[in-house]
Structure 1
Amino acid sequence: MSISFYVKNKKKFLGYEPVLNVESALSLLDKELNTYGTDGIDINDLLLSPLSKYQCLLVGAEEESARGFELSYDNKNKVYGVRIFTPSSREDWLLALKYIKALAKKMGTEIVNERGETFTVDNIEKFDYEPDILYGIKVITENIKSGESSNYIIFGTTRPVSFDEKMIDEINNSASPIDTFSRIVRDIQNLDAYSANQRFYQNEEDGRIMGAYTITESLRTIIPYKPSVEFHNSDMLKNDDIAFWNMGFVVINGDENDPNSYQGVGQLDYDDFIKKLPKEKYKFIDASYIMVEPLTKEEISNLLK
Structure 2
Amino acid sequence: MTRRHRFHLGAWITPALLAVELVLVWSGLLSIGRAILLAIVVEVALAITALGRGIIAVRRFRAGRAAGQSGWAAAEDGLAQMLPRPVARALLIEVRLWVCLLRWITRRHDGRSTNAYTYGRNLRLMLFALLSLSVLEGAVVEVVLGVLLPGTPWPWVVLGLHAYALVWIAGLATSLHTRPHLLEDGQLRLRDSVFAEITIPVSAIIGARPVRRPGPLRSGLRSDPSDGTGTLAYGETTIALALDPDQPLYTEGRPAITGLTVLHITADDPGRLLDDLREAQAELGCTPGTRL
Please indicate, yes or no, whether the TM-score normalized by the shorter chain is above 0.5: no
What TM-score do you get using the length of structure 2 for normalisation? 0.25
Larger Rg computed on CA atoms: 2
**Which structure shows the higher helix fraction?**
2
* Greater share of residues in strand: 1
